[in-house]
Structure 1
Amino acid sequence: MNSFDIKLVAGEAGMYNSVKWVHMVENEEISSFLDGGEIVFTTGIGIFEAKDFDLLSLVKENIQNGASGMVVNVGPYIPEISETVIAYCNRLGFPLFVVPWEVKMARIIKVFCLYILEAEKYEMEISEALEKALHFPKQDNIYAPVLEKYGFHPDNKIQISVLAGEFKIDEKTTLVDELLQKINYITYQLDGKVTISKSDKHYILFSANMDEAKIHVFSNRLTEFLNSKLKDPEIHWAIGSEIKQLHDIHKSYLRVKNLLKINQRAMIFNPITDDHNLGAYELLMEYADKTGAKEYINNMIEPLFEYDRMNNTDLCVVLSLYLESNGRVNDVAQKLFVHRNTINYKIKKIENLLSCDLSDFFVRLNLAVAFMMKAVL
């Protein structure tokens, strides 16, 4: 693009707006035909011929109709960009470019179209390759060359992360585009590479050139963005370890899904974001399919869950907090906003129901393992 002497004069904050196509727009009527996501080009001839329509009005129309940015051919019809227009575009994060009159707009449009088609090809090929890597690991002769072609090579610190939570993003809303733009912007700032695949219940992020520290910066910034856009979203992250071989993508994905399940279902201890911090869960996952696992849960804590279901009580919550707090009654009372005597009464009730002594460390340990195993199953 530098060969065309194209220059950004306003709206730098919107530089990562998604661009679907290009359109020549010279007046308000043509602007109304925009489908959303276009870069619009204008020579200003429509503005020159109109009495009550100026560049600011055209910018406003284009923004209202979903344009991603605008290129102005400065010359006899629009000799310069006013400070008012620049300020308006900066305020709304609407990229505004200028090119000299001598530059032929048709050539710039052609280059833009080629870029867009290449980007669409990339998205299609990388998405198909990632889907195969996630679900058909033995087809590495198909997906590996594509992933490596686009920079997702084991030498480039590739990882699988999963974003999930109690939030729904309607695919027809602009929030989807905003989310993708934010991901692209954060990735660019971190000098990394991320591609996304969406399942029914979560987003799968496949990253390259991003170490553990950058991955956490990425997840924190994206969480902040979602919190600013959605009302009380319950967000969960699960981040896999660095993948050494492309055929291990499937294995890493399964581990990350298990980690996500633990974070969503665990009643005790803080969430575990990284799969290399699984600790005891690592062992419990190995026994998740064993019949003895369910029997252990049934013997240890299932009577308490059954009692809560039948009596609409919260004894399981009280016990989980009691275990998490290492038996400190005051901590549990503060978390539940009740008097410590209420907790003491419920602890006695739990001991009677489970026929145990919660002052015994090994009893608490066995119960904690049962809660952890229930999260894994």
Structure 2
Amino acid sequence: MSLTLEEILALPGLEEMRLRAGSQNMHRTVRWSYVAENESIGEWVMGGELVFVTGINHPRDEVNLLQLVDDGHTSGIAGLVILTGSAFIQRIPDSVIARAHAYGLPLIEQPYLLKMVIVTHLIGTALVHMAQTKRSRHDIVAQLLSGDYPSLATARQRASHLQLPLDDSRRLVALRLSAVNVLFDRHPPDEAERRLQHIRQAVQDHLDAWNRALPDALPVIVQGDLFIVLLPEHEGIRLQLAELYQQLHAMIGELALFMGMAGAVQGCAGYRQALNQARQALEVAENLRPATGLCDFNELGVLRLLQAIGDRSVIDAFVQQTLGQLIEPRRKHSHSLIDTLDALLQENGNALKTAERLNLHRNTVTQRIQRIEQHSGQSLDDPLFRMNASVALLVWRMNEAQRQERP
């Protein structure tokens, strides 16, 4: 649990503070508060601060306030608070609000009559309390993941006090940055280490914000080089993780990222086993390198066999040989036969259920089955072909790069 800007504005005693811009980023966490006394703030902040501008010790005209917004955006501050009243800064110029809005920088107006000593005391106290709560929440989940806890009863009692929903059905996902050697091959050691730590922090910050928006969220745990999240179990979890992967992929630069997902765990007593499952799936993902970055432990039976094949081109050739003839580039939906074969195998060859799954007419599915057999030269009654097709489709589903070719 972290203290966000939204939570700060909800603190008792701060009701008079008013958000003027940047509402889309009110989820940002505040590292500490800082009162700006100099003309600019660029060299005085490190990122994550809530910066207060009073105008008492330095005149703040429109040009200077615009500069502070620019500095704050560049420095990565959490938000900017401008004190207004009759004495110093009478009002926040519209141009300042517009620029903060364009940056997505949370801009908050505070009346001078609301004393700074009260505001900073309330925020500082809340930050200390939140930090203690966050440490306790992380401690409980980390102990359950490692198996090093006094008793489940004690863990559950602590979790209840801290409002941690431990025993819901969840899927554990372990994420790891890969290709770290590339950084050290391309850059001097000091620069490579700096970039690595910057990327790791960016990934953790993004995961924290992403995870915090989920229902019944548990804290993200960092264990060695692993980032561990425990997600509520639901049907759209793979799509959710695919979107997360795309977001993280945009910020990791020269590195790669892979994810391993455990089978469903029904209670906190299974967290340790779930972490072991996720590690196994992650190992397979790093070897097979699916374009989605994700490997599911529930699919490890066949994937572990494929992982033993040292030459990835052998796997690609098998997929091409099995499914390649089913691609119809001249048709509008060139992969419709592959989708139909996939659905048909998942429905154990039942054409009626396949039609329902694909929202198609039964006759359309029958016609596609005929084309599948014509193009492949195989019969769907042949158990060997069905087995080969199932394995090839498993690899196909992992290879999102091929699926992106779809209209």
TM-score, normalisation: structure 1: 0.67
What is residue 159 of structure 1 aligned with on the other side? 171
What is residue 68 of structure 1 aligned with on the other side? 78
How many residue pairs get aligned? The number is 309
In the TM superposition, residue 85 of structure 1 has moved relative to its aligned partner by 0.6
Letter in 2 for 1:228: A
In the TM superposition, residue 165 of structure 1 has moved relative to its aligned partner by 4.4
1:160/1:239 contact within 8 Å kept: yes
In the TM superposition, residue 253 of structure 1 has moved relative to its aligned partner by 0.6
Q: What is the aligned counterpart of 2:31 among 20, 25, 39?
A: 20
Within 5 Å, give how 1:272-351 maps onto structure 2. Answer: 273-278=295-300, 316-325=311-320, 327=322
1:186/1:218 contact within 8 Å kept: no
Letter in 2 for 1:324: V
Partner Cα separation in structure 1 for residue 297 and residue 107 of structure 2: 44
Deviates more, 1:139-148 or 1:215-224: 139-148
Letter in 1 for 2:215: D
Which whole-Å deviations, capped at 9, do the CAs of 1:113-136 have from their partners, x for residues lacking one? 122212322332223223322222
Higher relative contact order (CA 8 A, sep 6+): 1
The Cα RMSD (Å) is 4.0
Deviates more, 1:115-124 or 1:152-161: 152-161
What is residue 353 of structure 1 aligned with on the other side? none
Work out whether 1:96 is the aligned partner of 2:96: no
- Which 5+ residue runs of structure 2 have no aligned equivalent? 1-8, 181-193, 330-382, 396-407
- Which 5+ residue runs of structure 1 have no aligned equivalent? 285-296, 306-315, 335-359, 373-377
2:204/2:227 contact within 8 Å kept: no
Partner Cα separation in structure 2 for residue 159 and residue 216 of structure 1: 11
Label 1:25 to 1:225 Cα distance change in 2 as closer, same or farther (>3 A): same
2:36/2:53 contact within 8 Å kept: yes
Q: What is the aligned counterpart of 1:191 among 199, 203, 215?
A: 215
Deviates more, 1:95-104 or 1:20-29: 20-29
Partner Cα separation in structure 2 for residue 324 and residue 167 of structure 1: 26
Q: What is the aligned counterpart of 1:239 among 235, 242, 261?
A: 261
What is residue 352 of structure 1 aligned with on the other side? none
SS at structure 1 position matched to 2:51: strand
In the TM superposition, residue 214 of structure 1 has moved relative to its aligned partner by 5.5
Which whole-Å deviations, capped at 9, do the CAs of 1:227-247 have from their partners, x for residues lacking one? 222346543222223322212
Within 5 Å, give how 1:225-264 maps onto structure 2. Answer: 225-231=247-253, 233-264=255-286
2:62/2:93 contact within 8 Å kept: no
In the TM superposition, residue 140 of structure 1 has moved relative to its aligned partner by 3.6
Which whole-Å deviations, capped at 9, do the CAs of 1:143-188 have from their partners, x for residues lacking one? 4444444343344334311123435594642x44543443344335
In the TM superposition, residue 226 of structure 1 has moved relative to its aligned partner by 1.9
SS at structure 2 position matched to 1:28: coil
1:140/1:247 contact within 8 Å kept: no
SS at structure 1 position matched to 2:228: strand
Partner Cα separation in structure 2 for residue 58 and residue 138 of structure 1: 48
SS at structure 2 position matched to 1:46: coil
1:47/1:53 contact within 8 Å kept: no
Which whole-Å deviations, capped at 9, do the CAs of 1:274-316 have from their partners, x for residues lacking one? 333445569x8xxxxxxxxxxxx8xxx7xxx6xxxxxxxxxx4
1:267/1:317 contact within 8 Å kept: no
Partner Cα separation in structure 2 for residue 190 and residue 135 of structure 1: 24
What is residue 337 of structure 2 aligned with on the other side? none
Partner Cα separation in structure 1 for residue 56 and residue 322 of structure 2: 77
1:18/1:181 contact within 8 Å kept: no
Which whole-Å deviations, capped at 9, do the CAs of 1:193-250 have from their partners, x for residues lacking one? 142222444311134xx33246435423321222222346543222223322212110
SS at structure 1 position matched to 2:242: helix
Label 1:13 to 1:180 Cα distance change in 2 as closer, same or farther (>3 A): farther
Within 5 Å, give how 1:37-186 maps onto structure 2. Answer: 37-48=48-59, 54-76=64-86, 77-137=88-148, 139-141=150-152, 143-166=155-178, 168=180, 170=195, 172-173=197-198, 175-186=199-210
Partner Cα separation in structure 1 for residue 158 and residue 255 of structure 2: 35
1:16/1:184 contact within 8 Å kept: no
1:72/1:98 contact within 8 Å kept: yes
SS at structure 2 position matched to 1:195: coil
Partner Cα separation in structure 2 for residue 146 and residue 214 of structure 1: 31
Partner Cα separation in structure 2 for residue 222 and residue 58 of structure 1: 32
Q: What is the aligned counterpart of 1:34 among 16, 24, 45?
A: 45
Partner Cα separation in structure 2 for residue 6 and residue 247 of structure 1: 44
Letter in 2 for 1:229: M
Work out whether 1:216 is the aligned partner of 2:238: yes
Once the two structures are aligned, what percentage of the paired residues are identical?
A: 17
In the TM superposition, residue 20 of structure 1 has moved relative to its aligned partner by 1.0
Label 1:155 to 1:197 Cα distance change in 2 as closer, same or farther (>3 A): closer
Partner Cα separation in structure 2 for residue 269 and residue 78 of structure 1: 53
Partner Cα separation in structure 1 for residue 245 and residue 80 of structure 2: 30
SS at structure 1 position matched to 2:250: helix
Letter in 1 for 2:113: E
